[in-house]
């Protein structure tokens, strides 16, 4: 089956003051519909540049990007592509335009020229998904940072894209705001939406099904998180670290012979400990 | 008894007072920072953390209530605020956005230049400040600031504050948006800086792991009020309360908490992975005994 997104040997350089600064070097990647993919790498490794190629915000210098079989170079399909791949950025203030929450969400569908009833339904669905139904009549300016980011996400969801790309969309949020966004992503994933999450937080990347690591514009690794986060030495070279739960598992592995050192989440560590509890020790 | 380095009493602050946009930010905050401490400040976004931090070096004047730095009241018009800002250095959120000199060394020199120091003294200060954040003076002083990585630019901004040789650093989300290695490096330099006698850090962060490693004490600010304070260990042992306030606990603490919930008699207040591992190990059978693995 044709993948939802196909990136084929893409190279791209930014022109800065007469200099050409390479950002992507022959990157290839296929994303199937329904995947939950985390894109990680040091600052400047090319993550955002790659993301901007996925909905034709940037066009490759060399190579091709196909979304549902449409080439991003083909101007006739630019809007089809942008309706298929929606982007949420780090700072929601730069994305919000309306003065009422529900108008903000309706903005995209209105521009698609959808019938009134359809717009209503989409706005209601999107607000419900991100948990902002109760705030529908408020001014976005007076929402908390976490609510604003969820509103930006609702605006994208109202376009009903098959794929959602989040470019460090949780970076500025507090723990509750971050957790809320991650829960929404789990919901969308369960509905078989495709998710591409760009993040500096390894704990977030560990939740994805697949992790793609970029290093200096090149693909460094593409594997399930458990395999990526087993690679201690490589992680360091890539400018990355272990997720916190993996660090704890590794510390336990130092203390207890045979304790698994490749666990990814709090739940996995708790279960691994629980499965081997020696009640007699302290009781 | 010596006077604390920073003391805040019943501090209130309202943005856009007497306008329809009026927003109350701080509603009576009390806070004491002693010399040599590292104090963490946590709270949901919009709780007033940045507003509070900007009062600690006189960037904002108290509208109501008092702020003292080294016993001098910031409300007192005779207090020299420039002197206060030299004693208490403030690093804003995303400080790398505020670099404005073309060359890295010049940006660090901006503060000391305004202190009227001699050329050699200034150069020496810039060198020390850059090396304190791991930027080799000779290698970096003539680099164009735009060509530095984000992590390097963040550290350069910190060097600009350190060049004033403050007694205390006030840091607003110093690691937010940095990649994992940039975060590690910045934390390591902060720990080295504060190792010198009497150096004080106040830091606001959403990253509980960083606070667990750095902070001796913490204040929890919610809707402009301090709702919880104490030693870092004590504050993080109140996981349920923190979760209700929209905050989190470090992963090591979360694991310990969950195991306790299931009835394992563990110490409730482990902060770091090393502590948690040492505490848990006594309760685990060696894996050689088990049939799986």
pLDDT at B22 over 90: no
**Rounded CA separation B118/B102 (Å):** 22
Question: What is the distance between the alpha carbons of residues A37 and A155, in angstroms, rounded to a whole number?
Answer: 21
A276 vs B contacts (CB less than 8 Å): 284-285, 287, 290
| Chain A, chain B: beta-carbon pairs less than 8 Å apart | 145
In a domain, B219, yes or no: yes
Q: Choose the most confident range, by mean pLDDT, from A220-224, B111-115, B142-146, B276-280.
A: A220-224
B116: confidence class by pLDDT, cuts 50, 70, 90: confident
Least confident of A126-130, A181-185, B169-173, B268-272: B268-272
Contacts of A144 (CB under 8 A, 6+ apart): A177, B44, B45, B46
Answer for the pair B158, B189: CB distance below 8 angstroms, yes or no. yes
pLDDT at A40: 97
Q: Which of A177, A254, A277 sits opposite B284 (nearest CB)?
A: A277
Instruction: Report CA torsion sign: B222, B223, B225, B227.
Output: negative
A255/B264 CB distance under 8 A = no
Give the nearest chain B residue to A19 (CA atoms): B147
Counting the structural domains of chain B, the total is 1
pLDDT of B283 strictly over 90: no
Give residue for tokens 């943005």: B15
Nearest CA in chain B to A175: B247
Residue B255 lies in a domain: no
> B59 in a domain, yes or no?
yes
Is residue B73 within 8 Å of residue B42, measured between CB atoms?
no
Q: How far apart are CA A265 and CA A271, in angstroms?
A: 10
pLDDT tens for B78-107 read 999 989 999 999 999 888 888 889 999 999
- Report chain A's mean pLDDT, rounded to a whole number: 92
Residue B219 sits in a domain of what CATH number? 3.40.50.300
Predicted pLDDT of residue A283: 45
- B contacts of A42 (beta carbons < 8 Å): 179-182
B272: in domain: no
Say whether pLDDT at B219 is over 50: yes
pLDDT score at B293: 44
Q: Between A177, A200, A274, which is nearest B180 by CB?
A: A200
Q: Cβ–Cβ of B259/A274 closer than 8 Å?
A: yes
Coil, helix or strand at residue B159: helix
Contact call for residues A51 and A29 (beta carbons, < 8 A) = no
Could you report the per-residue pLDDT of A10-61, keeping only the tens digit for each? 999 998 778 888 999 999 999 999 999 999 999 889 999 999 999 999 999 9
Residue B76: what are its φ and ψ, rounded to 5°? -75, 120
Residue B14 domain-assigned (yes or no) = yes
Nearest residue, CB atoms, A43 vs list B182, B206, B287: B182
pLDDT of A280 reads: 54
Q: What is the pLDDT of residue A194?
A: 98
Rounded to 10°, the helix A175-190/A145-157 angle is 20
What is the mean predicted confidence (pLDDT) over B263-273? 86
Q: B252 and A244: CB-CB below 8 Å?
A: yes
**CATH code for residues A34-56+77-225:** 3.40.50.300
Indicate if ipTM > 0.90.
Answer: no
With cut-offs at 50, 70 and 90, classify the pLDDT of residue B186. very high
Check CB contact under 8 Å for B283 and A281. Answer: yes
Nearest Cβ partner of A239 from B179, B262, B290?
Answer: B179
Q: Which residues of B touch A234 (CB under 8 A)?
A: none
3-state secondary structure of A39: strand
* H helix count then E strand count, chain B: 12, 10
Residues of B in contact with A38 (CB under 8 A): none
How far is the C-alpha of A202 from the C-alpha of A228, rounded, in Å? Answer: 11
Q: What is the pLDDT of residue A279?
A: 63
Mutate to test the interface with A, among B186, B206, B242 (most CBs of A within 10 A): B206
Q: Which domain holds residue B181?
A: 6-249
Pair B186, A43: CB distance under 8 Å: no
On the CB side of A105, CA atoms within 13 Å amount to: 32
Distance from C-alpha of A87 to C-alpha of A54, rounded to nearest angstrom: 9
Interface probe, candidates B220, B260, B262, B283, chain A, greatest A C-beta count within 10 A: B283
Instruction: Show the low-confidence residues of chain A (pLDDT under 50).
Output: 282-283
Q: Which residue of B264, B273, B283 is in closest CB contact with A251?
A: B273
Residue B267 lies in a domain: no
Range with the poorest average pLDDT among A104-108, B148-152, B282-286: B282-286
When CB atoms are compared, the residue of A146, A245, A277 closest to B283 is A277
Q: Where are the domains of chain A?
A: 34-56+77-225, 243-283
Q: What is the pLDDT of residue B19?
A: 86
Tell me which chain B residues have a C-beta less than 8 angstroms from the C-beta of A251.
273-274, 276-277
- Suggest the residue from A38, A42, A246, A254 to mutate for an interface test with chain B (most B CBs closer than 10 A): A42
Say what the pLDDT of residue B244 is: 87
pLDDT at residue A8, rounded to an integer: 97
**A234-239 contact pairs (CB < 8 A, 24+):** A236/B181, A238/A41, A238/A42, A238/A45, A238/A213, A239/A41, A239/A42, A239/A43, A239/A45, A239/A215, A239/B179, A239/B180, A239/B181, A239/B182
* Chain A nearest CA to B33, separation (Å): 24
Distance CA A159, CA B271 (A): 43
**A11-23 per-position pLDDT tens digit:** 999 987 788 889 9
CA of B254, closest CA in chain A: separation in Å?
7
* Residue of A5, A147, A144 whose CA lies nearest to A71: A5
């Amino acid at each position: 089956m044709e993948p939802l997104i196909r990136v084929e040997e893409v190279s791209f350089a930014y022109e800065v003051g007469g200099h050409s600064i390479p950002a992507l070097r022959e990157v290839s990647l296929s994303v199937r519909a329904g995947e939950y993919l985390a894109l990680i790498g040091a600052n400047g490794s090319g993550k955002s540049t790659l993301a901007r190629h996925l909905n034709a915000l940037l066009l490759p210098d060399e190579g091709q990007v196909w979304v549902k079989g449409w080439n991003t170079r083909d101007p006739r399909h630019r809007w089809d592509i942008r309706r298929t791949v929606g982007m949420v950025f780090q700072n929601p203030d730069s994305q919000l335009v309306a003065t009422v929450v529900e108008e903000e969400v309706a903005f995209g569908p209105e521009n698609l020229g959808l019938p009134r009833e359809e717009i209503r339904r989409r706005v209601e669905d999107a607000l419900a998904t991100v948990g902002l139904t109760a705030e529908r009549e408020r001014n976005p300016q007076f929402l908390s940072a976490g609510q604003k980011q969820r509103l930006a996400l609702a605006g994208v969801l109202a376009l009903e894209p098959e794929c959602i790309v989040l470019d460090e969309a949780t970076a500025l949020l507090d723990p509750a705001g971050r957790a809320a966004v991650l829960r929404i992503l789990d919901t969308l994933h369960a509905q078989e939406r495709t998710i591409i999450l760009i993040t500096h937080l390894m704990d977030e990347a560990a939740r994805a099904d697949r992790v793609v690591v970029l290093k200096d514009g090149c693909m460094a690794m593409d594997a399930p998180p458990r395999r990526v986060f087993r690679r201690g030495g490589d992680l360091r070279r890539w400018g990355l670290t272990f997720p916190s739960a993996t660090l704890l598992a590794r510390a336990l592995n130092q203390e207890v012979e045979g304790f698994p050192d490749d666990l990814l989440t709090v739940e996995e560590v708790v279960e691994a400990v629980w499965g081997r509890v020696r009640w007699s020790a302290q009781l | 008894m010596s006077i604390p380095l920073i003391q805040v009493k019943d501090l209130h602050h309202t943005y856009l007072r007497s306008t329809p946009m009026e927003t109350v930010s701080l509603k009576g905050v009390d806070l004491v920072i002693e010399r040599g401490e590292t104090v963490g400040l946590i709270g949901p976004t919009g709780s007033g953390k940045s507003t509070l931090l900007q009062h600690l070096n006189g960037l904002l004047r108290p509208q109501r209530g008092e702020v003292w730095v080294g016993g001098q009241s910031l409300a007192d018009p005779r207090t020299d605020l420039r002197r206060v800002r030299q004693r208490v250095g403030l690093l804003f959120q995303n400080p790398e956005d505020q670099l404005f000199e073309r060359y890295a060394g010049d940006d660090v020199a901006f503060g000391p230049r305004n202190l009227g120091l001699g050329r050699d003294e200034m150069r020496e200060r810039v060198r020390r400040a850059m090396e304190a954040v791991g930027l080799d003076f000779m290698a970096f002083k003539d680099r164009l600031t735009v060509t530095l990585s984000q992590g390097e630019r963040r550290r350069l901004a910190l060097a600009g504050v350190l060049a004033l040789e403050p007694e205390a650093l006030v840091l607003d989300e110093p690691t937010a948006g940095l990649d994992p290695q940039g975060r590690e490096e910045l934390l390591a330099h902060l720990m080295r800086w504060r190792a010198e006698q009497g150096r004080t850090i106040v830091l606001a962060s959403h990253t509980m792991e960083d606070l667990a490693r750095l902070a001796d004490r913490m204040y929890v600010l919610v809707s402009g009020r301090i709702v919880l304070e104490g030693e870092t260990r004590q504050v993080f042992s109140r996981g349920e309360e923190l979760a209700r306030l929209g905050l989190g606990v470090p992963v090591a603490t979360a694991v310990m908490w969950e195991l306790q919930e299931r009835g394992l008699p563990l110490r409730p207040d482990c902060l770091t992975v090393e502590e948690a591992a040492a505490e848990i190990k006594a309760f685990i059978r060696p894996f050689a005994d088990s049939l799986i693995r």
